[in-house]
Amino acid sequence: MWTPLPLREQDDPRTHHWSLEWQAVSWTGDLAERAAAPLGRYRFRVEGTGYSIASEPFEVVPAPLVVAATVDGSDLSISVGVEPLEGWRLLRMEGIMNRYVPLEGGPFTVELHRGAEVEAIPDVSPVGPGQLRVTPSGAGSIDRVVVIDGAGNRGEQVL
């Protein structure tokens, strides 16, 4: 956004104020992948006629995923989504757009923890918006479920 002061053009020099806002969006344009901005260090750079401005670097870090897992027979049903942090908006086209959003992208990696033993199940595709279903291959009681999306965001539930 740009605002010159004073607003009306005049002979005296004006002061120009700029503000910049970045909304994380999927690099593919798919609304289902809004929480999948690549992690890393970024900076804004603006170039114009006779000037160049660069911001201080900032970092895009993993977002915590909200995970809820329940045993369903021999399978594990898992819901996974993101609870947007302050400032996020337009994460979906229906419903309340800046509240909990089930993740629709994929694939996901699901880790089933049994004490020190970890059973990793890669390439788990959603069976519905924010719904995963896995069949554990190991024996024993699962004490923690971890879900990791393709962008490195992760969440867990202790059972």
pLDDT at 61: 79
pLDDT beyond 60 at 31: no
80-92: pLDDT as tens digits: 988 876 656 555 5
Cis peptide before 107, with omega less than 30 degrees from 0? yes
* Among 73, 56, 77, CA closest to 132: 77
pLDDT at 142: 93
What residues contact residue 71 under an 8 Å CB cut-off, 6+ apart? 77
For residue 2, the SS3 value is: strand
pLDDT beyond 70 at 115: yes
Is the model more confident about 147 or about 150? 147
pLDDT at 120: 96
pLDDT beyond 90 at 20: no
User: Residue 33 — very low, low, confident or very high, per pLDDT cuts 50/70/90?
Assistant: low
The domain limits of the chain are: 2-60, 65-158
Q: What is the dihedral of CA 87, 97, 155, 124, to 10 degrees?
A: -140
